Amino acid sequence: MVDYLIVGAGLYGATFARTMTDHGKTCLVIDKRSHIAGNVFSKTVDGIEVHQYGPHIFHTNSEMIWDHVRQFATFNDYRHKVLSDVNGDKYSFPINLKTLESLWGEMSDAELLKKFESVKSAHTHNETLEDWAIAEVGEEIYRKFIYGYTKKQWGTEPANLPRSIITRIPVRNNRDDNYHAARFSGIPVDGYTSMVANMLDGIRVILDADYLENRSFWDSWARTVVYTGPVDEFFDYEHGEMKWRSLNFQHRMLKTPQFQDVAQVNHPDEHVPYTRSIEHKHFVPSTMGDTQHTVVTLEYPQKYIRGLEKYYPVCDDEQRSIYEAYRKIIPSNFIFGGRLATYRYYDMDQVIASALSDARNRLC
Ligand code: FAD
């Protein structure tokens, strides 16, 4: 018997297990995958650290979380830069004064801002994502940078999407082209998998073990179960299946030292089937010159069907109410945590903060 059976060796599970172990509790961590680290899993491919489930940049405003993660990894000071490729022209992204200058020609900052304000005011805010986005940035910018990307990402016309699907369009009223406006940002230089392995140091981990395939066996191991898998699967879809968007990542090794100028290029054009190209070398700039080859990942959004990976929750009202119905029937000896069990998008710092808080609440 252990104090906690933790289902899922992602960031939530690893953080919870570490905290409890450090407070004298016994934990067993299982994961149905053949590796630890959940979706932040990365592995070295011919000398280049490749993020297997999408590019992951650690960024946070919380000094506490920044100090916490640096116990388990050495971080570089990587700041994420993104370009948007519109019909072959590359624009600075998120939208900032450099983007506006590329679009509208050389003007003073004040003139650019004035013009930006005038295009925005043409629309009033509305419930659909499309109307809201046009009100935020104007028709031209919406069509160039947001329409095609959003349509591919969600598999439907943005005019059919509720405004709540995206919480904000990153826009800067200055020339700051850092993608994240966070106080702290970086990438673990030895990779995320190594960081999570350090979190799990000394804790028993069993891989290729699907909790749902043998619940009674696994439940017999512990008084309390921390479950980080999908909430609807746990309840055998009793209140319905929750909607997700999935992604397909095509990793390519290219015989060229560098493929693109920055780690991430967005591809909002409708005729390009992928949304982002990621060149992993850029995440550790000090290693850019180390290899004559490079690894590029193309990200293709796809409809979620059972068996595929779940990436983005479709957080509309209907899904929220299904989640609420599940939340109310969670058994008292279970803790549901992380992105799949709480049906929400978390950044890494948020999921770590939530695991720390849940663990500390148990210790009080
Ligand atoms: P997961 O990492 O999904 O871990 C859950 C684990 O549970 C998995 O390993 C799974 O195999 C296991 N599991 C599930 N069911 C079972 C079962 N029945 N039995 C056993 N094991 C099971 N955040 C950032 O801060 N910066 C970024 O740049 C960033 N980029 C992202 C890019 C993409 C494409 C996506 C989708 C997310 C990104 N995130 C980013 C968010 C980040 O991935 C999450 O915050 C983090 O992975 C959540 O950790 P988790 O432990 O909740 O879930």
Q: Predicted confidence band at 288 (pLDDT cuts at 50, 70, 90)? A: confident
What is the Cα–Cα distance from 192 to 44, expressed in whole angstroms?
11
- CA 186 to each of CA 48, 56, 105, 278: distance values in angstroms, whole numbers, following the listed order: 17, 10, 33, 16
Whole-angstrom CA distances from 276 to 153, 280, 332 are: 10, 12, 42
| pTM, two decimal places | 0.96
pLDDT tens digits for 307-350?
999 999 998 889 999 999 999 999 999 999 999 999 999 999 99
DSSP line for 173-219:
SSS--BS---SEEE-BTT-HHHHHHHHTTTSEEE-S--GGGSHHHHH
pLDDT at 352 over 70: yes
Q: How far is the CA of 239 from the centre of ligand 1 (A)?
A: 23
Burial class (CB in 10 A: 0-12, 13-18, 19+), 280: buried
What backbone torsions phi and psi does residue 334 show, to the nearest 5 degrees? -120, 145
- CB count within 10 Å of CB 20 equals 23
Selection from 79, 87, 163 nearest residue 129 by Cα: 163
Q: What is the CB < 6 Å shell around ligand 1?
A: 7-13, 30-33, 38-40, 54-58, 210-212, 228-229, 247, 311, 338-340, 346-349, 351
What's the CA angle centered on 319, arms 316 and 322, to 5 degrees? 150
Cα angle 240-246-247, degrees, rounded to a multiple of 5: 175
Percent of the chain beyond pLDDT 90? 89
Q: Which residues on adjacent β-strands are paired with residue 188?
A: 75
Task: Lowest mean pLDDT of 164-168, 216-220, 319-323, name the range.
Answer: 164-168
Among the ranges given (43-47, 110-114, 161-165, 191-195), the one the predictor scored with the smallest mean pLDDT: 161-165
Residues facing residue 250 across a β-bridge = 298
Question: Which residue among 56, 59, 300, 334 has the greatest number of ligand 1 atoms within 8 angstroms of its CB, and so is best to mutate?
Answer: 56
- What are the φ/ψ torsions at residue 191 (nearest 5 degrees)? 95, 155
Q: Which ligand 1 atom minimizes the distance to the CA of 312?
A: 36
Q: Which 8-state DSSP code applies to residue 307?
A: T
Amino acid symbol at 337:
G
Q: Are 268 and 144 in contact (CB under 8 A)?
A: yes
Q: Cα separation of 359 and 364, whole Å?
A: 9
Q: Write down the residue that tokens 């073990």 correspond to.
A: 209
- pLDDT band at residue 123 under the 50/70/90 scheme: low
Mean per-residue pLDDT, 52-80: 98
Determine the Cα–Cα distance for residues 289 and 361; give it in Å rounded to an integer. Answer: 47
pLDDT the model gives residue 122: 60
Two structure tokens written together for 208? 């290729």
Residue owning the nearest CA to atom 39 of ligand 1:
347
Identity of residue 136: E
Mean pLDDT for 168-197 is 94
Average pLDDT of the chain is: 95
The 10s digit of each residue's pLDDT in 241-280 is: 999 999 999 999 999 999 999 999 999 999 999 999 999 9
- pLDDT at position 162, please? 86
Q: Rounded mean pLDDT of 110-120?
A: 93
| The token pair that represents 3 in the structure block | 């104090």
Quick check: 125 pLDDT over 90? no
What confidence score (pLDDT) does residue 43 get?
Answer: 96
Q: Give the range among 22-36, 50-64, 169-183 with minimum mean pLDDT.
A: 169-183
